[in-house]
Amino acid sequence: MWAIYKKAMRDSQRTMLWLSIGLGLYALLMVSFYPMMQAQEDSYKEMLKSYPKEMMSVFMGGDFDPDTYSLTDIGTFVQTYFMLYGIVIIGALAVVQAFNAITNAERDGTLDVMMSLPVSRRQMFTGRALATISMILIVLTFSIAGFWAGSLIWTEFDINLIELAVGLYGSFFLLTVFTGLSYLLAAVVPSSKHYAGAVAYLALIGTYLIYSLSGLSDALDAIKPLMAYDYYSAGTAINDGAQWGDWAVLAVVSVLFFGLAWWFIDRKELAV
């Protein structure tokens, strides 16, 4: 299993490295804007109030309220300017990794080569799934490092490493839901069918859009608890600490998805 894990890590190291550096630098860049935003907060608030509520809801999150919204609140800042998009970007990486591990490997024949070796399907699955999870953690670590480095340079961005770690690593639980779902789809849907990837991206991006717009519609607001995004907010985690109750819900769903994928992979017909 570890040989598979190391190989999966090696195969993705370039993608992982560039995404990690990119998001780390993006975090640093965002922090560099923080002192300016802090200095001009009143003007920003006026500007945000002038934008359509629908637009602000999508870009600032479903709970956006121009009257209570504070740009200088660090939790809100990290959530709004980083994690809202960061989740989708890192989630997309996880979806790609899951489908590369099984569906695309099956299509291009490398899974045949792998499965002709003395490795069980479940060992292969576990090695590759662990590699995807490790990649998520590495990318998140670089993002945390970016924010932390920024806080050392621009001291107005007053946050400690533990608050940052709790806030950003908390997204791990949300990301593993999408990762687990992707692995499950890859294990269940034959590689000849092309809709599995679309379903995974729909879950990642479609529910994000629905969640973002939920503040505008009572109907959407009613189904918010069914969406994974409802159980994680970097802002809440940074300001109020770990949200163990919500994260436990995400963890249970992730374990369920991974467990089902682990069960199905052993029953999968590997297509030519």
Residue closer to another protein by CB (options 40, 110) is: 110
Name the residue with tokens 């894990």. 5
DSSP-derived secondary structure letter, 51: S
Residue closer to another protein by CB (options 4, 23) is: 4
- What is the identity of the amino acid at 221? D
Residue closer to another protein by CB (options 8, 165) is: 8
Segment contacting another protein (CB under 8 A): 2-10, 24-32, 61-69, 140-148?
2-10
Minimum CB distance to another protein, residue 127 (Å)? 11
Q: Which of residues 154-213 bind another protein (CB under 8 A)?
A: none
Residue closer to another protein by CB (options 109, 206) is: 109
Minimum CB distance to another protein, residue 20 (Å)? 19
Q: Which of 119, 138, 210, 260 binds another protein (CB under 8 A)?
A: 119
C-alpha torsion sign, points 48, 54, 55, 57: positive
Q: Is 116 one of the binding residues for another protein (CB under 8 A)?
A: yes
| 3-class secondary structure per residue, 146-176 | HHHHHHHHCCCCCCCHHHHHHHHHCHHHHHH
Minimum CB distance to another protein, residue 91 (Å)? 25
Helices (H), ranges, 40-170: 41-50, 53-60, 74-78, 84-99, 105-108, 110-115, 121-153, 161-169
Round to whole Å and give the CA distance between 8 and 111.
12
Minimum CB distance to another protein, residue 17 (Å)? 14
Q: Is 11 one of the binding residues for another protein (CB under 8 A)?
A: yes
Minimum CB distance to another protein, residue 109 (Å)? 4
Residue closer to another protein by CB (options 113, 198) is: 113
Burial of residue 91 (number of CB atoms within 10 Å: 0-12, 13-18, 19+): buried
Residue 181 has which token pair? 């779902």
Helical packing angle, 161-169 and 171-188, nearest 10°:
30
Q: Is 46 one of the binding residues for another protein (CB under 8 A)?
A: no
Size of interface with another protein, in residues (CB under 8 A): 20
Q: Which of residues 55-114 bind another protein (CB under 8 A)?
A: 108-110, 112-113
Phi, psi at residue 271, to the nearest 5°?
A: -75, 155
Round to whole Å and give the CA distance between 96 and 175.
13
61: left (phi over 0), alpha (psi -120 to 50) or beta: left
Q: Which of 117, 152, 162, 219 binds another protein (CB under 8 A)?
A: 117
Q: Which of 120, 193, 217, 255 binds another protein (CB under 8 A)?
A: 120
For 150, other C-beta atoms within 10 Å of its C-beta total 21
Segment contacting another protein (CB under 8 A): 60-68, 116-124, 216-224, 235-243?
116-124
Minimum CB distance to another protein, residue 120 (Å)? 5
What does the binding site for another protein look like in residue numbers (CB under 8 A)? 3-4, 7, 10-11, 108-110, 112-113, 115-120, 267, 269-270, 272
